[in-house]
Amino acid sequence: MKMRPEKYLRYLFLPNLLELFGTERTKEILTVNPTIIPIREEAATVIINAYVYNKAEVKEYKNISIEEALSLKCNDHIIWINIDGLRKDDVDQLGDQYGIHPLLREDILSINQRPKVDEIDEILFSLMNILYYNEEKNAIGQEQISLVLGKNFVITFQDDPSRDLFNALRERLKLTTSKTRGKEADYLYYTLIDTIVDHYFIVMDKLRDRIEDVEEEIVRGTNKRSLALINVLRKELIVLKRSIYPVRDVLSGLIKSDSELLTEFNERFYKDVYDHVVQAIDLVENYRDMIMGMQDLYISNVNLKMNEVMKVMAIVTCVLAPATVIGGIFGMNFQVIPLSGQHWGFWIAVGAMLIIPAWMLILFRKRGWF
Amino acid sequence: MKMRPEKYLRYLFLPNLLELFGTERTKEILTVNPTIIPIREEAATVIINAYVYNKAEVKEYKNISIEEALSLKCNDHIIWINIDGLRKDDVDQLGDQYGIHPLLREDILSINQRPKVDEIDEILFSLMNILYYNEEKNAIGQEQISLVLGKNFVITFQDDPSRDLFNALRERLKLTTSKTRGKEADYLYYTLIDTIVDHYFIVMDKLRDRIEDVEEEIVRGTNKRSLALINVLRKELIVLKRSIYPVRDVLSGLIKSDSELLTEFNERFYKDVYDHVVQAIDLVENYRDMIMGMQDLYISNVNLKMNEVMKVMAIVTCVLAPATVIGGIFGMNFQVIPLSGQHWGFWIAVGAMLIIPAWMLILFRKRGWF
Amino acid sequence: MKMRPEKYLRYLFLPNLLELFGTERTKEILTVNPTIIPIREEAATVIINAYVYNKAEVKEYKNISIEEALSLKCNDHIIWINIDGLRKDDVDQLGDQYGIHPLLREDILSINQRPKVDEIDEILFSLMNILYYNEEKNAIGQEQISLVLGKNFVITFQDDPSRDLFNALRERLKLTTSKTRGKEADYLYYTLIDTIVDHYFIVMDKLRDRIEDVEEEIVRGTNKRSLALINVLRKELIVLKRSIYPVRDVLSGLIKSDSELLTEFNERFYKDVYDHVVQAIDLVENYRDMIMGMQDLYISNVNLKMNEVMKVMAIVTCVLAPATVIGGIFGMNFQVIPLSGQHWGFWIAVGAMLIIPAWMLILFRKRGWF
Amino acid sequence: MKMRPEKYLRYLFLPNLLELFGTERTKEILTVNPTIIPIREEAATVIINAYVYNKAEVKEYKNISIEEALSLKCNDHIIWINIDGLRKDDVDQLGDQYGIHPLLREDILSINQRPKVDEIDEILFSLMNILYYNEEKNAIGQEQISLVLGKNFVITFQDDPSRDLFNALRERLKLTTSKTRGKEADYLYYTLIDTIVDHYFIVMDKLRDRIEDVEEEIVRGTNKRSLALINVLRKELIVLKRSIYPVRDVLSGLIKSDSELLTEFNERFYKDVYDHVVQAIDLVENYRDMIMGMQDLYISNVNLKMNEVMKVMAIVTCVLAPATVIGGIFGMNFQVIPLSGQHWGFWIAVGAMLIIPAWMLILFRKRGWF
Amino acid sequence: MKMRPEKYLRYLFLPNLLELFGTERTKEILTVNPTIIPIREEAATVIINAYVYNKAEVKEYKNISIEEALSLKCNDHIIWINIDGLRKDDVDQLGDQYGIHPLLREDILSINQRPKVDEIDEILFSLMNILYYNEEKNAIGQEQISLVLGKNFVITFQDDPSRDLFNALRERLKLTTSKTRGKEADYLYYTLIDTIVDHYFIVMDKLRDRIEDVEEEIVRGTNKRSLALINVLRKELIVLKRSIYPVRDVLSGLIKSDSELLTEFNERFYKDVYDHVVQAIDLVENYRDMIMGMQDLYISNVNLKMNEVMKVMAIVTCVLAPATVIGGIFGMNFQVIPLSGQHWGFWIAVGAMLIIPAWMLILFRKRGWF
Sheet holding C139-150, edge to edge: C58-64, C47-53, C78-84, C153-158, C139-150, C123-134, C116-120
In whole angstroms, give the CA distance from residue B125 to residue D47. Answer: 69
Q: Which residues contact C21 (CB under 8 A, 6 or more apart)?
A: C228, C231, C232, D215, D219, D297
> Do E11 and B368 lie within an 8 Å CB cutoff?
yes
> Do D368 and B331 lie within an 8 Å CB cutoff?
no
For residue C344, give the 3-state DSSP assignment. coil
CA dist list (Å): E265 to C363, D258, E183: 82, 19, 10
CA dist list (Å): B168 to B81, B191, C26, C216: 16, 11, 57, 43
> Do B30 and C327 lie within an 8 Å CB cutoff?
no
Q: Per-residue confidence at D14, pLDDT binned at 50, 70, 90?
A: very low
Residue C315 has pLDDT above 90, yes or no: no
- Chain E: give the shortest CA distance to residue D306, in Å: 6
Decide if C80 contacts C154 (C-beta within 8 A). Answer: yes
**The pLDDT of residue C27:** 77
In whole angstroms, give the CA distance from residue A295 to residue A283. Answer: 18
Residue A305 has pLDDT above 70, yes or no: yes
**The pLDDT of residue A144:** 93
Q: Per-residue confidence at C225, pLDDT binned at 50, 70, 90?
A: confident
- Chain C: give the shortest CA distance to residue E318, in Å: 14
Q: Per-residue confidence at A8, pLDDT binned at 50, 70, 90?
A: very low
* Angle (deg, nearest 10), helices B88-98 and B102-109: 150
**The pLDDT of residue B1:** 35
Mean pLDDT across A270-296 = 92
Decide if E331 contacts E323 (C-beta within 8 A). Answer: no
**The pLDDT of residue B241:** 93
Residue C8 has pLDDT above 50, yes or no: no
In whole angstroms, give the CA distance from residue D337 to residue C347. Answer: 9
Which residues of chain B does E12 touch, with a Cβ-Cβ cutoff of 8 Å?
366
Q: Which carries the bigger pLDDT value, residue E149 or residue D314?
A: E149
CA-nearest of C220, C202, C215, C240 to C292 is C215
CA dist list (Å): D263 to D172, D183, D190, D254, D255: 22, 10, 11, 11, 11
In whole angstroms, give the CA distance from residue A272 to residue E125. Answer: 13
Mean pLDDT across A267-293 = 92
- Residue E183 DSSP code: S
Residue D12 has pLDDT above 80, yes or no: no
In whole angstroms, give the CA distance from residue E247 to residue B217. Answer: 47
The b/e string for C36-51 (b: 16+ C-beta within 10 A; e otherwise) is eeeeeeebeebbbbbb
Bridge partners (DSSP) listed for residue E126: E117, E147
Which residues of chain B does D331 touch, with a Cβ-Cβ cutoff of 8 Å?
331
CA-nearest of A207, A208, A196, A206 to A276 is A196
Q: Which of C4, C26, C109, C353 to mutate to test the interface with D (most CBs of D within 10 A)?
A: C26
- Residue E221 DSSP code: -
What do you get for the CA distance between the two ends of chain E, in Å?
30
Instruction: Give the global pTM.
Output: 0.86
Q: Which residues contact B365 (CB under 8 A, 6 or more apart)?
A: none
Residue C248 has pLDDT above 50, yes or no: yes
| Enclosing H/E stretch for C192 | helix C185-220
Q: Which carries the bigger pLDDT value, residue C365 or residue D252?
A: D252
Of E205, E313, E321, the CB nearest to D31: E205
**DSSP of D21-67:** TTHHHHHHHH---TT--TTSPPPS--EEEEEEE-SS-EEEEEEE-HH
**The pLDDT of residue D246:** 95
Q: Is A341 exposed, middle or buried (0-12, 13-18, 19+ CB in 10 A)?
A: exposed
Instruction: Return the minimum-mean-pLDDT range out of A131-140, B21-30, B212-221, E111-120.
Output: B21-30
**The pLDDT of residue D16:** 64
> Do D12 and A331 lie within an 8 Å CB cutoff?
no
In whole angstroms, give the CA distance from residue A79 to residue A152. Answer: 6
Q: Give alpha helix (H) positions in D127-184.
A: 167-174
Residue B6 has pLDDT above 70, yes or no: no
Q: What is the mean pLDDT of chain B?
A: 85
In whole angstroms, give the CA distance from residue E83 to residue B206. Answer: 61
Q: Residues of chain D whose C-beta is under 8 A from some C-beta in A? A: 11-12, 331
Q: Which long-range contacts (CB under 8 A, 24 or more apart) does B72-77 make?
A: B74/B152, B74/B153, B77/B52, B77/B53, B77/B152
Q: pLDDT per residue over D142-157, tens digit each?
A: 899 999 999 999 999 9
- Chain A: give the shortest CA distance to residue E171, in Å: 36
Q: What are the structural domains, with CATH classification, of chain E?
A: 19-301 (3.30.460.20), 311-366 (1.20.58)
Decide if B192 contacts B169 (C-beta within 8 A). Answer: yes
Which residues of chain D does B313 touch, with a Cβ-Cβ cutoff of 8 Å?
none
In whole angstroms, give the CA distance from residue D343 to residue D352. Answer: 16
Of A30, A114, A238, the CB nearest to B208: A30
Residue D31 has pLDDT above 70, yes or no: yes
Q: Which of D325, D365, D367, D369 to mutate to test the interface with C (most CBs of C within 10 A)?
A: D325
Q: Which of D300, D324, D367, D369 to mutate to test the interface with B (most CBs of B within 10 A)?
A: D367
How distant is the alpha carbon of residue C183 from its chain centre?
36
> Do B30 and C321 lie within an 8 Å CB cutoff?
no
Backbone φ, ψ for residue C19 (5° rounding): -65, -40
Q: pLDDT per residue over B264-323, tens digit each?
A: 777 888 998 999 999 999 999 999 999 999 999 898 888 888 888 888 888 888 888 888
Neighbours of E155 (CB within 10 A): 25
Q: Which carries the bigger pLDDT value, residue A369 or residue D306?
A: D306
**The pLDDT of residue E36:** 55
**DSSP of D215-262:** HHHHHH---HHHHHHHHHHHHHHHHHHHHHHHHHHHHHHHHH---TTS
In whole angstroms, give the CA distance from residue C154 to residue C100. Answer: 12
Decide if D353 contacts C351 (C-beta within 8 A). Answer: no
**The pLDDT of residue A33:** 67
**The pLDDT of residue C11:** 40
Written as one letter, the residue type at C217 is E
β-pairing, B153-158 with B78-84? parallel
Neighbours of C159 (CB within 10 A): 19
ipTM of the complex: 0.81
Angle at the Cα of C17 from the Cα atoms of C16 and C21, rounded to 5 degrees: 115
**The pLDDT of residue A369:** 65
> Do C327 and B327 lie within an 8 Å CB cutoff?
yes
Reading chain E (370 residues) residue by residue, the pLDDT tens digits are: 344 444 444 443 344 667 777 777 777 777 776 665 545 678 888 999 999 999 989 999 999 999 999 999 878 899 999 999 999 999 999 999 999 998 899 889 988 889 999 998 889 999 999 999 988 888 898 899 999 999 999 999 998 888 888 988 999 898 888 888 888 899 999 999 999 999 999 999 899 888 988 888 888 776 788 888 888 899 999 999 999 999 999 999 999 888 888 887 778 889 989 999 999 999 999 999 999 999 998 888 888 888 888 888 888 888 888 888 888 888 888 888 888 888 888 889 889 988 988 888 888 887 766 6
